[in-house]
């Protein structure tokens, strides 16, 4: 076997080392080449060559000289990430909206947009068209001017085969075996975003990534993110890594049966967690006089959430009782996760956030009562990222993939300087 001895093998090793140096600069900046060499175990000549390459790609820049008093001998030129040259785009599609976020190399938000859109009524093809329009608009936005867009990551509430980008099943959207990535690539052809790589993943997974990298409990390695939409999914991080399961479909806590005689779920079974604690089910109990028959449109969901909050703040007994009851069901679901995974934190996202003042007390109480290790120290909190969590997770996840060598580095856009 030729293994890694040929040119392709050499290039693979070099690309891996570029990622190693990029991660080191992220962790240590401002730092010298010598500090990077010491941290990575690579020799100084190799680090100098790799830094030159990363500078040519617009990922690393020199910031000036190290203060003389910080070291003995000749001051070293300091390095930092260059936040001005690339961007990553994340899009979340849900029943009633699209959310778009773009970030720079430092994972700072460059743009954010919330687009009211009834994805369930539109159907998958029209939805793919609207997502493509949103990606194209983001790439052309003045906030991204002059930047190379390294990818667009799309979050979907359902089972997603991430390698192919096929949505296997999304019952709340009415999608089945839909090749979303393939359709998006076709829609983007001929646009200003034609060369942008596209990824598709589950919204709960990307929500968990967002919480780990950008949430108020950031860097909590064992964390679960619960989507608070019509459906309830769980994105699970153990030791800072996503748990996907053998086929990539881990985390479907919304379809754990918690009430065997409960109402019918969109999946066709009865008593699933999302049938009793999903936002649509909660709203029908909290504001029964305002909820129309049939599936709620995207606009209706947002309006009913606002109404439920207003009534609960006014101590309306029906609204308060419904929200507290939903919190109890959520707590039972959380207890299942705590017993199986022993996370350090469970974060409630989406529409659970505005409803959290009434959900959280009962949720914590029920989880504490049903979890085997009631004193295990698991925190249950509301997200600070709102309805853009999965979109943010998609964008920052692309930056993480770039750092980890799982996404191609941008091509050099200027002549490399001498090492």
Of the pLDDT bands very low, low, confident and very high (cuts 50, 70, 90), residue 416 is very low
Position with higher pLDDT, 98 vs 294: 98
Contact 47, 76 (CB under 8 A): no
Mean pLDDT score of the chain: 89
Return the minimum-mean-pLDDT range out of 9-18, 43-52, 265-274, 326-335: 9-18
**pLDDT (tens digit, 9 = 90+) per residue, 167-203?**
999 988 889 999 999 999 999 999 999 999 999 999 9
Secondary structure of the chain: what % helix, strand, coil (to 5)? 45, 20, 35
Radius of gyration of the CA atoms of the chain, in A? 23
Residue with tokens 């129309």: 292
- pLDDT at residue 2 above 60? no
In this prediction the pTM is 0.88
How far is it, in rounded angstroms, from Cα 93 to Cα 99? 7
Peptide bond into 30 cis (omega under 30): yes
User: What pLDDT is attached to residue 95?
Assistant: 84
User: What pLDDT is attached to residue 75?
Assistant: 58
Sheet with 86-93: list strands edge to edge.
109-116, 97-103, 86-93, 148-156, 198-202
Look at the chain and count its residues: 419
Determine phi and psi for 220, rounding to 5 degrees. -75, 110
C-alpha distance from residue 305 to each of 93, 165, 301, 351, 390 (Å): 19, 31, 6, 7, 20
How far is it, in rounded angstroms, from Cα 393 to Cα 261? 36
**pLDDT (tens digit, 9 = 90+) per residue, 222-281?**
999 999 887 899 999 999 999 998 888 888 899 999 988 889 888 888 999 999 999 999
**pLDDT (tens digit, 9 = 90+) per residue, 141-176?**
999 999 999 999 999 998 999 999 999 999 888 899
User: What pLDDT is attached to residue 372?
Assistant: 85
Helix (H, G, I), strand (E, B) or coil at 74: coil
Helix (H, G, I), strand (E, B) or coil at 206: helix
Please give the structure tokens belonging to residue 47: 């680090």
What is the DSSP pairing of strand 86-93 with strand 97-103?
antiparallel
Label residue 315 left, alpha or beta by phi (over 0 means left) and psi (-120 to 50 means alpha).
left
**Continuous H helices in 273-351:** 273-277, 279-286, 298-313, 317-341
Contact 287, 304 (CB under 8 A): yes
User: What pLDDT is attached to residue 413?
Assistant: 67
Of the pLDDT bands very low, low, confident and very high (cuts 50, 70, 90), residue 121 is confident
- Give 148: exposed, middle or buried? Use CB within 10 Å, 0-12, 13-18, 19+: middle
Helix (H, G, I), strand (E, B) or coil at 5: coil
What is the DSSP pairing of strand 241-242 with strand 345-348?
unpaired
How far is it, in rounded angstroms, from Cα 274 to Cα 26? 40
């Amino acid at each position: 076997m030729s293994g890694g001895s040929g040119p392709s093998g050499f290039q693979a090793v070099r690309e891996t080392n570029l990622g190693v140096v990029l991660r080191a600069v992220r962790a240590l900046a401002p730092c010298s080449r010598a500090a990077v060499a010491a941290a990575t175990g690579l020799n100084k000549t190799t680090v100098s060559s790799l830094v030159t390459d990363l500078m040519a790609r617009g990922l690393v820049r020199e910031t000036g000289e190290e203060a003389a008093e910080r070291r003995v001998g000749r001051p070293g030129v300091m390095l930092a990430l260059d936040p001005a040259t690339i961007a990553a785009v994340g899009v979340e599609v849900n029943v009633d909206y699209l959310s778009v976020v773009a970030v720079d190399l430092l994972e700072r938000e460059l743009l954010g947009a919330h687009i009211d859109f009834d994805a369930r009524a539109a159907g998958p093809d029209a939805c793919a068209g609207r997502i493509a329009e949103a990606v194209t608009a983001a790439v052309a936005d003045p906030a991204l001017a002059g930047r190379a867009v390294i990818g667009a990551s799309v979050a979907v509430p359902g089972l997603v085969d991430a390698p192919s980008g096929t949505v296997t099943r999304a019952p709340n959207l009415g999608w089945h075996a839909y090749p979303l990535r393939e359709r998006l690539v076709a829609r983007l052809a001929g646009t200003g975003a034609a060369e942008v790589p596209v990824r598709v993943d589950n919204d709960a997974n990307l929500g968990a990534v967002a919480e780990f990298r950008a949430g108020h409990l950031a860097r909590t390695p064992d964390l679960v993110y619960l989507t608070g939409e019509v459906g309830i999914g769980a994105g699970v991080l153990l030791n800072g890594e996503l748990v996907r399961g053998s086929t990539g479909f881990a985390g479907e806590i919304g379809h754990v049966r918690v009430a065997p005689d409960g109402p019918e779920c969109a999946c066709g079974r009865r008593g699933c967690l999302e049938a009793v604690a999903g936002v649509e089910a909660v709203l029908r109990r909290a504001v029964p006089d305002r909820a129309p028959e049939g599936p709620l449109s995207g606009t209706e969901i947002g309006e009913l959430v606002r109404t439920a909050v207003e009534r609960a703040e006014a101590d309306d007994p029906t609204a308060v009782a419904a929200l507290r009851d939903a919190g109890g069901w959520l707590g039972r679901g959380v207890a299942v996760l705590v017993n199986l995974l022993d996370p350090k934190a469970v974060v409630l996202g989406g529409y659970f956030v505005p409803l959290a003042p009434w959900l959280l007390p009962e949720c914590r109480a029920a989880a504490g009562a049903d979890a085997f290790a009631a004193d295990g120290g698991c925190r249950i909190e509301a997200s600070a990222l709102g309805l853009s969590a999965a979109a943010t997770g998609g964008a920052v996840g692309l930056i993480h993939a770039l750092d980890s060598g799982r996404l191609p580095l941008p091509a050099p856009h200027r002549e490399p300087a001498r090492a």
